[in-house]
Amino acid sequence: MGIPTLINTEKELFSKIEFSEYDVLVPFICLKTGRCCKTYMPHVPEMDVLAIARFLHWSEEDTFSRYSDCFRKCIASHAEPCIFLNRDNLCRIYNHPLRPSVCKLYPFSYESSDVTCPGYQEHYRLIAVLTAFNTPSQIYDSSFCPDISLRPLPFYKWKEVIDIFRSCNPSPELEHRFIAWNLRKAPYHHA
């Protein structure tokens, strides 16, 4: 089974832990603090800024001027909220195809992860606990090509893994997704 058949890799972020005989998928759940977008203006090409402005029914000229100003301040370390963040801390272009890749991958990135993100901290804590008892051969996250095969968790390992997972007090949403992603191949379970 490959990860793309199990997860919508366009929308969902995860880490894959490879142990010697099986893999465990650890979902990343955004805690919707809006914290990242409050201090960061990603690079957006001019044509894309104008297209987004049209999509939002904003003035193209005014949008590009606000974008340029915000982006300049961010690269000069005077952090400002992204101009596409609304008052409810939600991204106005979340489902738009021009939403920058860096946003889609956040808090993972091709160079490093944002260790200050509260959702990432929860995610990392889970990985640390899951790997404390069994040495992984490799850990990948969504910034690595996810088109790789997945070795299902054997049923005899399930109770041990879910007990370790629950020792971190995961949120109900995280637990639901963890079970859905890792227990699909088991014929039955008592989780």
Rounded CA gap, 43 and 167, in Å?
39
Question: Which tokens sit at 165?
Answer: 């997972």
Would you say 14 and 7 are in contact if contact means Cβ atoms under 8 Å apart?
Answer: yes
To ligand SF4, the closest distance from the beta carbon of 156 in angstroms equals: 41
Q: Considering all CA atoms of the chain, what is the largest pairwise distance in Å, rounded to the nearest integer?
A: 61
To ligand SF4, the closest distance from the beta carbon of 138 in angstroms equals: 29
- The smaller minimum CB distance to ligand SF4, of residues 3 and 85, is found at 85
Q: Pick from 42, 114, 124, 179: which binds ligand SF4 (CB under 6 A)?
A: 42
> Binding string, 63-102, against ligand SF4, x = CB under 6 A?
-------------------x-xx-----x-x-----xx--
- The smaller minimum CB distance to ligand SF4, of residues 24 and 36, is found at 36
Chain positions 123 to 152 lying near ligand SF4, rule: CB under 6 A, are: none
- Strand ranges across the sheet with 138-141: 23-28, 13-18, 138-141
Give 71-108 as a DSSP string.
HHHHHTT-----TTB-TTS-BTTTTSTTS-HHHHHTT-
Residues that bind ligand SF4 (CB under 6 A): 37, 40, 42, 82, 84-85, 91, 93, 99-100, 103
